[in-house]
């Protein structure tokens, strides 16, 4: 594989890893607070649909992004009410959100646009366009460093850079602020937090809200940046892959970045079977490449990547002692 092909593969890896990374960090906030969220898939799907629909109607991608975040946060509020306020089963609530989003997005899209459950193709200001960083064109002629900067680092949409910036920001919030300390404590020992006079319910709702915002950005990225419109089930299991990456990363922000880049690389490989064939030296079945990320997801969830201990209070509703 030559240098140009390697850059193309890494560029595709970064673009494909972005929605996984945003969803993974969303799950990290929620699960660190003790709320397991299998509904990442549904929130991304709902956000993808509404962001594309509003962007198509208004011609403004920023309005679409806000609409996508609103859709995701609405489902987060439902999940929060079910699992925090009414102390329901968090896993069942998440699964219900996934089913609801999968069916509702197609029905509403068909009723709204009459295009078989799709939205119109987005163009111009209705979608996010690549950003050329300063001096990218001038640096392209510099050996090695120039192409890395101009082709790999530059030329992505703003949401890719937002996703990357969210990693150090998440680390700082969780490990360097009082809020982050309390959030992590809620996921480990909510009774101790309650004894200290901090509302466990409020902290968990805030964590679920942050999860909704990040899932909204992830879904909007799928429909208005990675692609140019919404199609049925376009999240394609990315929410589940993000959960697997979160377990693989052992609920740590920087490890989450590395895990998502790994999954993104596998997805990039599935788009370039010629590269795999050149490396392996024989013809590789394209369908096998397509399922590689999902195979790795099953392997991770089966527990073959070492012991990953979730937050101790995760999945359990908090009942205040009287």
Q: What is the pLDDT of residue 6?
A: 86
Band (pLDDT 50/70/90 cuts) for residue 303 is: low
Output the six-digit token pair for 277: 């064939």
CB 159 within 8 A of CB 21: no
Between residues 37 and 273, which one has the greater pLDDT? 37
Q: DSSP letters of 208-256?
A: HHHHHHHHHHHHHHIIIIISSS--TTTTTTHHHHHHHHHHHTTS-HHHH
Q: For residue 222, give the nearest of 127, 140, 303, 292 by alpha carbon.
A: 127
Least confident of 32-36, 52-56, 146-150, 164-168: 146-150
pLDDT(312) > 90: no
- b/e map 125-138, b = 16+ CB within 10 Å: ebbbeeeeeeebee
pLDDT(91) > 80: yes
Cα–Cα distance for residue pair 240/238, rounded to 1 Å = 5
- 3-state SS assignment for residue 131: strand
Between residues 224 and 313, which one has the greater pLDDT? 224
Q: What is the pLDDT of residue 181?
A: 94
pLDDT(283) > 80: no
Distances (CA, A) of 233 to 2, 60, 211, 220, 239: 35, 23, 20, 14, 11
Name the CA radius of gyration of the chain, rounded. Answer: 20
Domain ranges of the chain: 3-127+142-301
Band (pLDDT 50/70/90 cuts) for residue 310 is: confident
Which distant-in-sequence residues (6+ apart) come within 8 Å of 307 by Cβ?
Answer: none
% residues pLDDT > 90 (the chain): 68
CB 45 within 8 A of CB 17: no
Average pLDDT value for the chain: 90
Q: DSSP letters of 250-269?
A: TS-HHHHHHHHHHHHHHHHH
Distances (CA, A) of 218 to 191, 201, 244: 33, 26, 16
pLDDT(204) > 90: yes
- pTM score, two decimals? 0.94
Cα–Cα distance for residue pair 65/224, rounded to 1 Å = 8
pLDDT(5) > 90: no
Task: Determine the average pLDDT of the residues in 192-200.
Answer: 90
Task: Determine the average pLDDT of the residues in 36-58.
Answer: 96
CA 82-86-89 angle, to 5 degrees, is 55
Strand-pairing partners, residue 156, are 131
Q: What is the pLDDT of residue 286?
A: 66
3-127+142-301 CATH: 1.10.3470
């Amino acid at each position: 594989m030559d240098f140009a092909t390697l850059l193309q593969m890494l560029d595709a890896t970064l673009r494909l890893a972005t929605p996984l990374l945003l969803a993974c960090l969303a799950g990290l906030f929620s699960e660190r607070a003790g709320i397991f969220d299998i509904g990442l898939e549904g929130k991304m799907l709902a956000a993808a649909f509404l962001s594309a629909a509003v962007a198509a109607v208004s011609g403004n991608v920023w309005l679409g992004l806000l609409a996508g975040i609103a859709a995701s946060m609405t489902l987060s509020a439902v999940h929060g009410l079910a699992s925090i306020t009414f102390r329901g089963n968090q896993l069942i609530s998440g699964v219900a959100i996934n089913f609801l989003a999968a069916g509702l997005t197609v029905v509403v899209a068909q009723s709204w646009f009459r295009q078989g459950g799709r939205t119109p193709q987005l163009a111009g200001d209705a979608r996010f366009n690549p950003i050329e960083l300063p001096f990218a064109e001038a640096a392209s002629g510099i050996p090695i460093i120039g192409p890395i900067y101009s082709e790999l680092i530059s030329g992505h949409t703003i949401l890719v850079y937002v996703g990357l910036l969210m990693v150090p920001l998440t680390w700082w919030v969780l490990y360097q602020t009082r809020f982050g300390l309390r959030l992590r404590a809620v996921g480990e020992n909510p009774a101790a937090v309650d004894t200290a006079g901090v509302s466990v319910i409020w902290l968990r709702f805030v964590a679920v809200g942050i999860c909704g915002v990040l899932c909204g950005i992830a879904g909007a990225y799928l429909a208005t940046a990675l692609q140019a419109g919404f199609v049925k089930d376009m999240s394609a299991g990315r929410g589940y892959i993000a959960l697997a990456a979160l377990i693989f990363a052992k609920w740590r922000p920087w490890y989450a970045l590395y895990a998502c880049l790994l999954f993104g690389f596998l997805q990039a490989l599935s788009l370039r079977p010629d590269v795999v064939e050149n490396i392996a030296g024989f013809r590789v079945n394209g369908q096998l490449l397509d399922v590689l990320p999902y195979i790795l997801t099953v392997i991770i969830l089966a527990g073959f990547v070492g012991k990953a201990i979730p937050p101790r209070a995760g999945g359990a509703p908090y009942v205040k002692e009287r």
